[in-house]
Amino acid sequence: MNPLLKQILAARRIAHWQFDADLNIVARDRLAKTMPSLGNEPGGSLLAAFPELVGSEDALMAVIRGERKDLRLEYVNRNATDGDPSYWHLMVLADRATDGGILLAEEVSKLARLQQAYNQQRYEHVLLRQHAALRGRFLMDSILGDSPAICDLRDKIKTLSKVPTATVLLLGESGTGKNLTARVIHHSAMPPDAPLVEINCGALPDNLIEAELFGVEKGAFTHATASRVGLLEEAAGGSIFLDEIGELPLNLQAKLLSALESKTIRRLGSNRAIRVNVRIIAATNRDLQAEVAAQRFREDLFYRLNVVSLTMPPLRTLGEDILTIAHHLLAVFNMEFKKKVDAFTAAAEEKLRHYHWPGNVRELSNCIERAMIFAQGTAIDAPELILSEGIRVAAESVNDWSVPADGIDLDTVERQLILSALERAGRNKSKAARLLGLSRDTLRYRLEKYNIT
């Protein structure tokens, strides 16, 4: 071998073996002798020393005859004596001195591990992107139905998925799926690790909402024995879902508006401004424009929240989608109750299709769950679907109500309606909430508001 080539190989720590035309090793350098995981004694077979070359005999002979420039094998894996694998690049060249060839071996274990780490990260990145895409499609499919209203809703959510910072206001009757829609909006636009924090503004007393939203510093008030992060701060980098935003007290509406405008908050008992980058998704079953006119909701906060508004369609307007949702709920409760009720009778479908559904999807879910509990056969029939027809009559006649000439006290009327609903429901709060078309948390808030025990 050329002496200069030997010096270059030694400087690069590249070991080499010389072999003859019969593929027998005739010599090896000093570095090769220190590598027990490679090579063989002179006189041994090249293919025995390097079994990775088995099957490449024709290519080896082509290199020896000069018909091919070289033969290369990259990242050949050998088990080292310490148990850790080593990796090598092998190259075969022609060698005129032996009428055979020369095999060069360069250890690339460090490079191989870096390449493995890179490939692993790339693979995980691809999986993450695929997971995000699948998750987005799965969540979008959870909004069931093919009616024009549902298709329009899905189209708007797809558009919003490209604008992950847009503030969204969800409007519509109680039970129409505002919570589900908020989750779909968040997960379709945000990274998988972005937090989604939910708070029901009507479920907490006034004196706790501020601490929940903005956090508390130790010693801010009597029982503040430790500092606590607020939900707005907890949701940084993701979304916060403010359900029943219409129940938020006026003084906190002003503080929330300030936080949205400045993107900063201050914990209770602190003067330090904390910057938060959070997407706001709010929901209400109230007519916020009417609340603004009645001065129960701040106009400036309404316009700040009403960047993009989505109105959830009532169940009674969805036509055949009612049956689509009903069959989905049937499958869900089959799994939950371990039953095999796989259909509704024609009479049951007719009953589901023509009921008014004042409680919307929540009422439909409760109706089917109740029927599933007592179902004995493989299909649910009309008599098994117990519907609150009295609510329908009340809902249809509500437009006949009018304000007396001398006016009324709205709080008094609301209090009497709540008392009446509780009496009709046998003091069952969940049933009373359904009679009033409210969530149980909203009813609890109103019970506290009117001091009803």
CATH assignment of the domain containing 273: 3.40.50.300
Average pLDDT value for residue range 443-451: 84
Give residue 215's region: left, alpha or beta (phi > 0; psi -120 to 50). Answer: left
Q: Outline where 177-305 has alpha helix (H).
A: 178-189, 206-214, 231-234, 250-262, 288-293, 299-305
Q: Are residues 159 and 290 in the same domain?
A: yes
Residue 37 burial (CB count, 10 A): 12
- What pLDDT shows up at residue 367? 92
Q: Are residues 86 and 203 in the same domain?
A: no
Q: Are residues 176 and 88 in the same domain?
A: no
Q: Are residues 299 and 437 in the same domain?
A: no
Q: Are residues 177 and 287 in the same domain?
A: yes
In a domain, 85, yes or no: yes
In a domain, 115, yes or no: no
Of the candidate ranges 32-36, 140-144, 437-441, the one whose mean pLDDT is the lowest:
32-36
In a domain, 113, yes or no: no
Examine the pLDDT at 152 and tell me if it is beyond 90.
yes
DSSP 421: H
Q: Are residues 246 and 351 in the same domain?
A: no
Examine the pLDDT at 10 and tell me if it is beyond 60.
yes
Examine the pLDDT at 215 and tell me if it is beyond 70.
yes
What is the residue-averaged pLDDT of the chain? 84
In a domain, 136, yes or no: no
In the listed set 253, 276, 311, which residue is the last one of a domain according to the structure?
A: 311
Average pLDDT value for residue range 203-231: 79
- What pLDDT shows up at residue 443? 85
In the listed set 311, 328, 353, which residue is the last one of a domain according to the structure?
A: 311
Q: Are residues 301 and 320 in the same domain?
A: no
Express each pLDDT in 57-116 by its tens digit.
999 999 999 999 999 998 888 776 556 778 888 999 998 877 899 899 888 888 888 888
pLDDT band at 120 (very low <50, low <70, confident <90, very high): confident
In a domain, 214, yes or no: yes
Average pLDDT value for residue range 319-342: 91
Express each pLDDT in 397-446 by its tens digit.
444 566 666 667 777 788 888 888 888 887 888 788 878 888 777 888 88
In a domain, 123, yes or no: no
Q: Are residues 87 and 167 in the same domain?
A: no
Average pLDDT value for residue range 143-166: 90
Residues 6+ apart with CB under 8 A from 245: 169, 201, 282, 283, 284, 305
pLDDT band at 167 (very low <50, low <70, confident <90, very high): very high
Q: Are residues 169 and 98 in the same domain?
A: no
Contact 340, 334 (CB under 8 A): yes
Spell out a b/e string for 52-86, using b for 16 or more CB atoms within 10 Å of the CB, else e: ebeebeeebeebbeeeeeebebeebebeeeeeeeb
Q: Are residues 39 and 92 in the same domain?
A: yes
List the CATH number of the domain containing 416.
1.10.10.60
In a domain, 408, yes or no: yes
Cα(38)–Cα(106) distance, integer angstroms:
11
Average pLDDT value for residue range 10-33: 84
Average pLDDT value for residue range 178-192: 89
- What pLDDT shows up at residue 37? 61
- The domain total for the chain is 4
List the CATH number of the domain containing 329.
1.10.8.60
- What pLDDT shows up at residue 393? 43
In a domain, 243, yes or no: yes
Q: Are residues 328 and 247 in the same domain?
A: no
- Find the domain containing 365 and state its range: 315-394
List the CATH number of the domain containing 26.
3.30.450.20
Q: Are residues 295 and 353 in the same domain?
A: no
- What pLDDT shows up at residue 410? 77
* Degrees, nearest 5: CA angle 434-439-444: 105
In the listed set 349, 378, 394, which residue is the last one of a domain according to the structure?
A: 394
Examine the pLDDT at 130 and tell me if it is beyond 80.
no
